[in-house]
Amino acid sequence: MQAMNTMGHRQNSFAIDKGLSWRARALGVALLVFAHPAFAQVAFVQSTGLFGNPAGITAASTAFAANPKVGDTIVVLLWTWSQNTAPATTVSDSAGNTYTSNALAIIHQATWYESAQVFSVPVASTGAAFKVTVNMPGNDNVSQIRAVATEYSGVGAVDKTNAVTGTSATAGAATTTVTSYANELVVSAFGINNPADNFTSIAPSSGYTTRAFEYQNSGDTAGGGADRIISTTGVQSNTWTVAPTLSGWAAVIATFSSTGSTTPDHLAISD
């Protein structure tokens, strides 16, 4: 009888252990299925620095110091000046990636046009001496281009954009709605149409990092490009403060979500 009681106790213990094991695994599956996906952290990688052309329709950057990584994103912040004809700017690179215009602002004063624009591309092809080229095919040889190309890791799709022009003393642009995610890249570019002057300072809002600027707006096109990485959702804005004051400008802002990992669509449980 004692032996039978011992055997019964062992069988009951096995059944309890097996039941707990199933419950634990079921709980683990539920946590995996309903957990929020993990998101990569957005990070700055490298920049070409300022490049451009004070008289012409094509401008090529210097080569990136290291070959851009496939899967990273290149963002181009640019501003241009042209006369008589509004710019229809395009961007390309030496590896053949196809760039998309994400935001464009153009101000027209008298016969002059000033633009600010954001282009981007997920890097699908890379190579040595990787350069970015800006083209203004419909304009003339007195057109002016300034730009900076920057590589980021962990960047996904475009989230929010806005384009603004004005004649106020400072240039600002803001998203019209809050960002969709906490961890996002925010970029801003602006170009100065008037006055035709040599500026002594061009600065974005606090929290932004200036990636390029040009002070000369007589014989060149003054403006700047900046970025920041945010960790909370909200309406994003940037105000460019300059000296001397402005009387005609174009500004853009764009945000990019971070890349997210995928959750398996099925999980198997076995003994």
Give the DSSP letter of residue 178.
Answer: -
Give me the tens of pLDDT residue by residue for the chain, a chain 271 residues long. Answer: 444 444 444 444 444 444 445 455 554 544 444 445 556 799 999 999 999 999 999 999 999 999 999 999 999 999 999 999 999 999 999 999 999 999 999 999 999 999 999 999 999 999 999 999 999 999 999 999 999 999 999 999 999 999 999 999 999 999 999 999 999 999 999 999 999 999 999 999 999 999 999 999 999 999 999 999 999 999 999 999 999 999 999 999 999 999 973 333 333 333 3
Q: Kind and range of the H or E element at 23?
A: helix 2-34
Taking the mean position of all CA atoms in its chain, how far away is CA 215? Answer: 24
pLDDT at 183: 95
Q: Are 86 and 131 in contact (CB under 8 A)?
A: no
pLDDT at 264: 31
Please classify residue 177 by burial: count the beta carbons closer than 10 Å to its beta carbon, then call 0-12 exposed, 13-18 middle and 19+ buried: exposed
pLDDT at 270: 37
Q: For residue 202, what are the CA distances in angstroms to 54, 88, 239?
A: 19, 26, 10
Q: pTM for the whole thing? A: 0.83
Taking the mean position of all CA atoms in its chain, how far away is CA 92? Answer: 17
Q: For residue 211, what are the CA distances in angstroms to 77, 149, 224, 270?
A: 9, 9, 8, 54
Please classify residue 49 by burial: count the beta carbons closer than 10 Å to its beta carbon, then call 0-12 exposed, 13-18 middle and 19+ buried: middle
Q: Hey, is 16 helix, strand or coil?
A: helix
pLDDT at 40: 79
Please count the other Cβ atoms lying within 10 Å of the Cβ belonging to residue 232.
10
pLDDT at 25: 58
